[in-house]
Amino acid sequence: MSPSRAVLITGVNSRSGLSSGTGRATALRLHRAGWPVYATGRSTEGLQDLADEGITTLRVDVTDEESMAAAVKRVTEEHGAVGVLVNNAAYSLNGTIGETPIDAVRAQFETNFFGLSRMTQLVLPGMREQRSGRIVMMSSIFGLFATPGRGYYQATKHALEAISDSLRLEVAPAGIKVVVIEPSPILGSFVPTTVDDLALDANSDLYADFWEHFVEWHGAYREVEHPKGRGRTSVRAGDVAAVVEKAITAARPRIRYRIGIPVRLLRPQRAIFGDRAWEAFVSRFFPTP
């Protein structure tokens, strides 16, 4: 019996403008290429257009064990196992390290780190049984360095990078491949238009000027404004989806796929600069208090 080709994608959000859209773009691209795709999100209400295309949509909240287990069970019953898991579910918590309530930090890790870890655990038995499978971890350029105001979100991406490297070596004997996707900032992803959009539940008065600058700076990634300057350093959701397809179809996939010029230049630049010069660059280029 051939190994399963069923693709389970987490975090395929509705077209609300509040996400990068990579999950949706990936679901559509793989479906149109003939893969059996299961697109999942915390609600299926906004995924009707995907269902109309023939994509199976399921409710999966990666902080809810029951919904995750049910999705894996459904795919396993219909295809024998999950053939490809795309760990895409995530959101970005805005807030400074000292002022963000610890409950908000825990919630960030529950979705971005513990959720994908548990989903990975759930699909591994089926992949091991068929001695085949591919796990795609959606990281970010911010899994490689950190900036003020998003440190906890960036910490989850750093953690994703670490467990991916451990997992890759652990499951290689079973024929399972683990791939990390590292996009540069994604054009059209959620960016705030006002400080209120940041939904800060910390003391924002302490950093009032910083947050105003933060909102203005991120406006460069608002697709509708046809940005120049920083916008030229970004990539589109469709670009990311194309790389995901490459990662799951390559006989010998790369360990990491770096998408866009900024993420490709980051490692050599940081090595040349050294720690102090790199921090000076970050403090000049990105919003800082």
As annotated, the active-site residues are 153
Tokens of 232: 């030229």
Amino acid at 39: A
- Cβ neighbour number for residue 191 with a 10 Å cutoff: 20
What are the distances in angstroms from CA 142 to CA 14, 118, 164? 24, 22, 15
- Could you give phi then psi for residue 264, rounded to 5 degrees? -70, -30
Instruction: Confirm if 134 and 83 have CB atoms less than 8 A apart.
Output: yes
Instruction: Confirm if 56 and 38 have CB atoms less than 8 A apart.
Output: yes
Amino acid at 180: V
Task: Tell me which residue of 35, 3, 20 sits closest to 247, measured CA to CA.
Answer: 35
| Positions of E strands within the chain | 7-9, 37-41, 56-59, 84-87, 133-138, 176-183, 256-259
Strand partners of residue 134:
84, 177
- Could you give phi then psi for residue 199, rounded to 5 degrees? 55, 45
Strands 176-183 and 256-259 turn out to be: parallel
> Given the structure tokens 């000292």, which residue do they identify?
98
